Structure 1
Amino acid sequence: MSTHAPNEARVIPLRPKTAPAGSGGAAGAPQRPATAPQPPEPKEPLWRDLVGDVLRRERLAQERTLKDVADEARISMPYLSELERGRKEASSEVLAAAARALGLGLGDLLSLAQEDLARHARISRLGRSPVDRGRTSPTARYDGLCLVA
């Protein structure tokens, strides 16, 4: 039988409760100094999300509907919607058709997505601590055009 009253929410903790500070924990075990929790490092965006954002941004800038662009690109409207939301990984042929329907070349579409990726990389580097900012990996810069097949 349940011990909680009906019509009341029951809270089930996802993490075990930790011993309060000063309780000593295990006998003779040294206490770790409390450190401020570090914010999680922002995730690098997926290529399909970047391309989808560019497609949506360009379509909305032209004040065009999904149906209009999908018809011109000869792809289904639900599929174009999935591309814009980053839910589908499109082939280069589909990306080229969507880009052409928006008056862009495939290179233009990929270049705009690469600019967004570079902007994201700069922002994530700025968010790191001053000590970490000086450290860069060989892949930390995005100066060229990224092509994905």
Structure 2
Amino acid sequence: MTHVEPLLRRLVGAILRTRREEQGRTLRDVATDARVSLAYLSEVERGRKEASSEVLVAICRALGMRLVDLVGAAHAQLAEAEGRIVVDLTAAPAPDLARPVHAAGTALLLAA
């Protein structure tokens, strides 16, 4: 059986929707802050539209997050779907300089 990878646009949309709902905000509120149409934001959240990086940055800012936060969350979910472990090195008390670090310096993907 072949493993079907989730579509990135669906992961991104779900992450944005979850963040918005955690903040108790409406689609209209976030769309206004991000300067995108309510209908377009709804399509992005449902994974039906592939938003440009500029639009993603605007939505992230409206939600008080950075694009790297969004990409990191998507990375973690993709890794989990593949049965990999993501270690958050930002939570570590002190860095182990002998340990390889992801290029972004925030997470190391390990095979399970």
Superposition TM-score, scaled by structure 2 size: 0.72
Instruction: Give 5+ residue unaligned stretches, structure 2.
Output: 85-107
How many Å separate the matches in 1 of 2:17 and 2:66? 15
Q: Tell me, yes or no, if structure 1 residue 72 matches structure 2 residue 33.
A: yes
Match of 2:80 among 112, 119, 123: 119
Which structure is higher in helix share?
A: 2
How many Å separate the matches in 2 of 1:69 and 1:114? 23
Q: Tell me, yes or no, if structure 1 residue 143 matches structure 2 residue 109.
A: yes
Q: Tell me, yes or no, if structure 1 residue 58 matches structure 2 residue 19.
A: yes
Moved over 4 A (4+): none
Deviations along 1:56-89, whole A, 9 cap, x unmatched? 1101111110000000000000000000111011
Percentage identity across paired residues of the two chains: 54
Q: Tell me, yes or no, if structure 1 residue 85 matches structure 2 residue 46.
A: yes
SS in 2 for 1:143: strand
How many Å separate the matches in 2 of 1:143 and 1:74? 35
Deviation at 1:143, TM superposition (A): 2.5
- Pairs within 5 Å for 1:10-49: 40-49=1-10
Instruction: Give 5+ residue unaligned stretches, structure 1.
Output: 1-39, 124-141, 145-149
Q: Structure 2 counterpart of 1:66, which letter? A: L
SS in 1 for 2:109: coil
Q: How many pairs were matched up? A: 87
CA RMSD of aligned residues (A): 1.9
Deviation at 1:50, TM superposition (A): 0.8
